[in-house]
Amino acid sequence: MKRTITAFFAMAALTAPTLAGEPVSIAEIRFGEALQEKADEYGQRELEYLASEMREALERELGDHLGENGLVLDVVILDATPNRPTMEQAASRGLHHSSVSIGGASLEAHLLDANGVELESYAYSWRTHNIRDVIGYSTWTDARRTIRRFADDIGESIEERDASGS
């Protein structure tokens, strides 16, 4: 039975259309429910900032692979926590800009073909481990670090996909 399944997958791989070299477009960056619930607390401007950081990091990593009419990368910022209070938090909750907290983000993405079929999925989450590590950090330092690492992982995956011809 195992050989039959292996042979079936091998045949499918040989007959499947190659997707190597197809351009990748980045869909509108979306927000997960957990982060949407924090929009009023953080301020909508902060969510737009995170989406902009995500798009810039992906564009930097995907570089030559970017284009239209090919694959689509659907990205969701599931959750994010700032290291320092956002402007909205400072105004509404009276938090001082020198307050610090453990920050980070949880992210996911799906690489889809032109028909919307998922070819690859990605997930990454990271948070600071120790409050003492965040001294000197800006509002979104850990979230930006998480975004950059995630974009780097996706870029490497797409490079490997192109190199392998699938």
**Does the pLDDT value for residue 161 go beyond 90?**
no
Taking the C-alpha atoms of residue 38 and residue 59, their distance in angstroms, rounded to an integer, is: 26
Q: What local confidence, expressed as pLDDT, does residue 94 receive? A: 74
Residue 20: pLDDT band (50, 70, 90) is: low
Q: Average of pLDDT values for 87-98?
A: 80
Q: Average of pLDDT values for 71-90?
A: 94
Tell me the average pLDDT of the chain.
87
Q: Which residue has the higher pLDDT, 163 or 15?
A: 163
Please report, in angstroms and rounded to a whole number, the separation of the first and last CA atoms in the chain: 26
The answer to whether 85 and 95 are in contact (CB under 8 A) is: yes
Reported as a single tens digit per residue, the pLDDT across 115-124 is 999 999 999 9
Structure tokens at 24: 């990748």
Q: Which residue has the higher pLDDT, 14 or 55?
A: 55
Q: What local confidence, expressed as pLDDT, does residue 46 receive? A: 97
Q: Which residue has the higher pLDDT, 62 or 90?
A: 62
What three-state secondary structure class fits 157? helix
What three-state secondary structure class fits 16? coil
CATH code matching the domain that covers 23-164, chosen among 3.30.310, 3.30.420, 3.30.160, 3.40.50: 3.30.160
Burial of 131 per CB tally in 10 Å (0-12, 13-18, 19+): exposed
**Does the pLDDT value for residue 2 go beyond 60?**
no
Q: What local confidence, expressed as pLDDT, does residue 63 receive? A: 93
In DSSP notation, 86-154 reads: -HHHHHHH---TT-----EEEEEEEEE-TTS-EEEEEEEEEE-S-GGGGTT--TTHHHHHHHHHHHHHH
The candidate with the shortest Cα–Cα distance to 86, out of 139, 135, 156, 159, is: 139
Q: What local confidence, expressed as pLDDT, does residue 11 receive? A: 42
Q: What local confidence, expressed as pLDDT, does residue 114 receive? A: 92
Q: What local confidence, expressed as pLDDT, does residue 19 receive? A: 53
